[in-house]
Amino acid sequence: MKRLVYLLPLAVFLVIAVYFAVGLTKDPSRLPSVLINTPVPKFDLVAIQGRDRGFSSKDLKGEVSLVNVFGSWCVACRVEHPFLMKLAKQKLVPVHAIDWREVDRTAGPAWLKKFGDPYTLIGDDPRSKGAIAFGVTGAPETFVIDADGVIRYKYIGPMSQQIWDETLGPIIQKLRQSGAKP
């Protein structure tokens, strides 16, 4: 009996180690979204100042695209911004945007003017209607949408070349190859 007490720390540690091992196989920045593999719910966002077109769920049909959630208040968005500019220049995939929770309608356009505008379509989303449709938890967040308008992947946090090369790029490649059904 007394022996068992001495074995207890080892047992507890081993249990923790097993959980660590499982934990290592998961990417902590990839929160699963309940909406993965479901079509984007209907939304229709108005244009931001200085653009004549808004952004709606209909725009997502026909080709694989990215939807990036940003806001001028979001610090991490500024971190990923140079990469998005690069992506836009290479024209690899259309990148749409949801300009989320701007207090002031001029803030988003001013931010894009200052740092550059990489987006194909932008919807103004001060009331989080679009964000709710996508199940956004925070900004920046980027969704991969297939040609049928189905959400295929959600990346949380600032994008970078590495994430593009290792994750988003291959997913988009696969979606394009397999047509609409991966």
Partner 1 sequence: MIAEVGHFALVLALLVAMVQASVPMVGAARNNEVWMALCRPAAIAQFLLVALSFLCLTHAFVTSDFSVITVAQNSHTDKPLIYKISGVWGNHEGSMLLWVLILSIFGSAVAFFGSNLPPGLRARALAVQGLIAVGFYLFLLLTSNPFERVIPPPMNGNDLNPLLQDFGLAIHPPMLYLGYVGFSMAFSFAIAALIEGRVDAAWARWVRPWTMAAWVFLTGGIALGSWWAYYELGWGGFWFWDPVENASFMPWLAGTALLHSSIVVEKRNAMKTWTVFLAIVAFSFSLLGTFLVRSGVLTSVHAFATDPGRGVFILLLLIIVIGGSFALFAWRGPQLKSEVLFQPISREGGLLLNNLIMTVAAAAVLLGTLYPLFLDAIGGGKVSVGAPFFNAVFIPLMVPMIAAMAVGPLLSWKRADLGPALKRLWIAAAAMFVMVAVTWVLITDGPFMGLVGVALATWLGVGTLVSFADQIRLFRAPLPESLSRLRRTPRATWGMTLAHLGIAVAIAGVTGAGAWKIESVQVMKPGDKVTVGGYEYEFKGATEHPGPNYTARRGLFIVSKGGKVFTVMEPEKRIYPVQNMPTTEAAIHSTLWGDLYAVVGDPQGTEGGFVTRIYFNPLVIWMWMGGLLMMFGGFLSLTDRRYRIGAPTRRQAGAAPVAAE
CB of residue 32 vs partner 1: minimum separation in angstroms?
A: 7
- Interaction site with partner 1 (CB under 8 A): 2-3, 6-7, 9-10, 13-14, 16-17, 19-29, 31-32, 73, 75, 78-79, 81-82, 103-104
Shortest distance (Å) from residue 81 CB to partner 1: 8
Smaller CB separation from partner 1, 29 or 38: 29
Q: What would the two tokens of residue 65 be? A: 């695209």
Closest CB to partner 1 among 11 and 180? 11
Residue type, 6: Y
Shortest distance, position 107 Cβ to partner 1, whole Å = 9
Residue 177: other Cβ atoms inside 10 A = 8
For the chain, what is the radius of gyration of the CA atoms?
20
The DSSP secondary structure of 92-112, one letter per residue, reads SS-EEEEEE--SSTTHHHHHH
Task: Considering the complex, state which of residue 27 and residue 63 has its C-beta at the smaller distance from partner 1.
Answer: 27
Query: Could you tell me if 54 and 46 are in contact, meaning their C-beta atoms sit under 8 angstroms apart?
Result: yes
Strand 65-70 with 141-145, pairing: antiparallel
Which residue number, 110 or 147, has a Cβ lying nearer to partner 1?
Answer: 110
Buried b (16+ CB within 10 A) or exposed e, 21-38: eeeeeeeeeeeebebeee
Q: Where are the alpha helices (DSSP H) in 27-168?
A: 75-90, 107-115, 129-134, 161-163
- Closest distance of CB 13 from partner 1, Å: 5
Complex with partner 1: residue 105 or 127, whichever CB lies closer: 105
Q: How far is the CB of 170 from partner 1 (least distance, A)?
A: 18
